[in-house]
Amino acid sequence: MTANSITVNGTDYRWPQRPVVVVCIDGGDPEYIEHGVAAGIIPNIERYMREGFHAVAHGTMPSFTCPNNMSIVTGRPASVHGISGNFYLNRATNQPVVMTGPELLRVNSVMSEFSRHGARVVSVTAKDKLRRQLQKGMDLANGSISFSSQHADRCTMEENGIEDALEFVGQPLPDMYSADLSLFVLDAGLRLLEERRPNILYLSLTDFIQHAYAPGHPEADRFYAEMDVRFGRFEALGATVALTADHGMNEKTNDDGTPCVVWLQDLLDAEFGEGASTVICPIADAFVGHHGALGGFVRVYCREGLSSERVIDAIREVPGLERVLSREDVAREFDLPVGPEGDVAVLGDVRTVIGAREVDHDLSGLKGHRLRTHGSVHEADVPIILNRPVSDEYARGAEDARLHSYQAFDYAFNGIVD
């Protein structure tokens, strides 16, 4: 026996008549889709856009992976789900607190709530750091499954709802830094849809390709063509296919191709002295991260004696810094939980990233590539594409106001015309 609908975080979701596959194309800037359609390399997506539904939606700010994945799967903004970066600063200890685990996630995902009401759900993510957030509250006792391609060789029934995932998918463990890490997620979803016919699949990829290659680069084209073939297979298996992204991607370089960076901690230390403030780059996995850990959004935490007004006055005219906002203003404007915010939030312009101290960021990982990354409002636009048309009401809703990507599940579950 199944319910007609399930209420999750204030939204009623219809019990799906056919499997729903929601794919989060990590770093899936709308420009890749535009280019792919123009180049004729993504015929399935092109057809969905023509015969189904498509819109460019607002993503969650900051335009990072975890906050946006949580917005998509919970159907709510960051002020509700609580995840606004990879970590924030605990002022009492002056130590970073990791936000990528399930502990700080305040609400459950649509998948988790459906699993608790008897649905079979599947959550597969490329990188394991997202997995535990995605499966928070998920009931794995009724055939639901949650694992990452990164750790597909370590699955247990207890933790993941599946064993021998590599054997099941029929592929070796993909390389951590490769397009294959994402394609494995899609292939795992296809195999599970064929074999186990789950009600809901959430498939979250990695932005390795988009960080490295601009739209139109042969590597990016190949990746999009490979994805498109798989989206066609999901549809052929009878699924509703919904495509969205966590954030876009822009090149962040000077005219000579070198990374365009404002080293904010160095600036603040020169102005106010070392230890007066702490810059946290919430795109990073740690203080020092791969790919330079550089993005278009950072938080400044002031120590006693330094006011946010003085920080704002000192840096508001720095070239490349587009917005310098107080804690209250950034939380209000971008619908963020105020607790983890710093005293000042700093946003880069379209070509500028913001780092902490130059000496702490390792840029050797670029290996000659031009820096491409995200975090600012310029990477917050994401596509929502469905393979089926939506009702007049939902079509009007998309025309009247720009959608938010946290409405992707709502459109896929409630908007489509069955």
Region near Zn ion per CB under 5 A, out of 36-44, 174-182, 238-246, 379-387: 238-246
Q: Shortest CA distance to 185 belongs to which of 151, 159, 154, 217? A: 151
Residue ranges in 45-74 that form contacts with Zn ion under rule CB under 5 A: 65
Residue 246 Cβ vs Zn ion, minimum distance, rounded to whole Å: 4
Q: Residues 113, 180, 207, 221: which binds Zn ion (CB under 5 A)?
A: 207
Minimum CB separation of residue 9 from Zn ion in Å reads 22
Site map (CB under 5 A) of Zn ion, residues 1-30, x = contact: -------------------------x----
In the bound state with Zn ion, the residue whose beta carbon lies nearer, of 119 and 126, is: 126
Coil, strand, or helix at residue 201? Answer: strand
Prior bond of 30 cis (ω within 30°): no
**Residue ranges with strand state E in 161-221:** 200-204
Positive or negative: CA dihedral 230, 68, 349, 400: positive
For 384-407, letters b (16+ CB in 10 Å) and e give bbbbbebeeebbebbeeeebbbbb
Q: Which is nearer to Zn ion, 26 or 381 (CB)?
A: 26
Are 293 and 259 contacting, i.e. CB atoms less than 8 angstroms apart? no
Candidate segments 35-43, 46-54, 159-167, 246-254, binder of Zn ion by CB under 5 A: 246-254
- Say how far apart CA 371 and CA 389 lie, in whole Å: 38
Nearer to Zn ion, 160 or 204 (CB): 204
Q: Which is nearer to Zn ion, 174 or 232 (CB)?
A: 174
Helix H or strand E encompassing 128: helix 128-134
* Minimal distance, residue 377 CB to Zn ion, in Å: 16
Contact call for residue 228 and Zn ion (CB under 5 A): no
CA–CA distance, 118 with 95 (Å, rounded to integer): 41
The C-alpha atoms of residue 219 and residue 283 are separated, in whole angstroms, by 24
> What's the alpha-carbon Rg for the chain, to the nearest Å?
21
Shortest Å distance, C-beta 150 to Zn ion: 14
Cβ of residue 339: shortest distance to Zn ion, in angstroms? Answer: 23
- Minimum CB separation of residue 59 from Zn ion in Å reads 10
Sole window of 7-15, 163-171, 243-251, 284-292 interacting with Zn ion (rule: CB under 5 A): 243-251
Taking CB under 5 A as the criterion, the residue among 113, 187, 246, 381 binding Zn ion is 246
**Under a CB-based contact definition with an 8 Å cutoff, are residues 417 and 20 in contact?**
no
Minimum distance of Zn ion from residue 205's CB (angstroms)? 9
Q: Which residue's beta carbon is nearest to the bound Zn ion? A: 65
Q: How far is the CB of 120 from Zn ion (least distance, A)?
A: 27
218-236 and 43-51 helices cross at what angle (nearest 10)? Answer: 60
DSSP 3-state assignment of 158? helix
Considering beta carbons, is residue 130 or 155 the nearer one to Zn ion?
130
How many chain residues interact with Zn ion (CB under 5 A)?
Answer: 4
Binding site for Zn ion (CB under 5 A): 26, 65, 207, 246
